Amino acid sequence: MAEQLREGLWLLELGFVAPLASNAYLLDDGGDVTLVDSGLPRNWPTLRSELAAAGYEVGDVDRVLLTHYDLDHVGGLARLRPEFDGPVYVGRDDLRLVHGEDDPSVFHHKGAFHRLARVLFPFPADVDVHPVTDGETFDGFTAFHTPGHNPGHTVYLHESGVAFLGDLVWEEDAELTTPIWFDSYDVREIDESVKGLVDRIPPFEVAAMGHGDPIRSRGHAALLALADRL
């Protein structure tokens, strides 16, 4: 059930139950409404009902940020049509993968899955998808390319002090951890992305990750603690 984390920030609990549960977030900065990630192609509760529980309709959403192309984060995008007609942001290398401009190896466990997924679940044809690059800034957000889980995985920091971390990290027992091998392209690259991110991301308060319970304060310290453990 949708939960308000702080003023203007909502956790939307999508998917089903673990491990098929994933987090999306709604950020209302007083002018614009941003949805970060969108759950599975089918969710229970649904994306629409979670938005409604937070007090919003699909037509209120101005933009969607996707941390990466995995079905538990992008699958719900098609459910926002036709009311949502704003831009969608996703890391450039993941967009290249979806569009077939980059071909992951069929012999790689996740690459083989993505080759199938991009055929069955492409981005909706009439959606304006914008490829995001490292360091890009827009509408109060800064993008950080953090590959490893996916080639184009991207963290978005909002200037209000919220870091949308996607599947760069997960939460377990109030600590941050890194995703498992089975669900990732390259776990060593994830470690390097975590270490690289703590060196360059400005301090933030809320750590909003794709799986687990968001860390509501001192999120930056939690990320530093993880980097020290790696």
Give the interface with Zn ion as residue ranges (CB under 5 A): 72, 167, 210
Considering the complex, what minimum distance in angstroms separates the CB of residue 85 from Zn ion?
26
Question: Which letter does DSSP use for residue 197 in this model?
Answer: H
CB 22 to Zn ion: min, Å: 5
Determine if the peptide bond prior to 19 is cis (ω within 30°). yes
Sorted by sequence, the CB contacts under 8 Å of residue 125 that are 6+ apart come out as none
Q: Minimal distance in Å, beta carbon 170 to Zn ion?
A: 8
Nearer residue to Zn ion within complex by CB, 50 or 167: 167
In this complex, which beta carbon is closest to Zn ion, that of residue 44 or of residue 200?
A: 44
Q: How far is the CB of 23 from Zn ion (least distance, A)?
A: 9
d(C-alpha 18, C-alpha 137), whole Å? 33
201 CB-contact burial (10 Å; exposed 0-12 / middle 13-18 / buried 19+): middle
| CB proximity list for 199: less than 8 A, separation 6 or greater | none
Tokens representing 145 are: 């390319």
Based on CB atoms, which residue is closest to Zn ion, 93 or 167?
167
Cβ proximity to Zn ion: between 34 and 67 the closer is 67
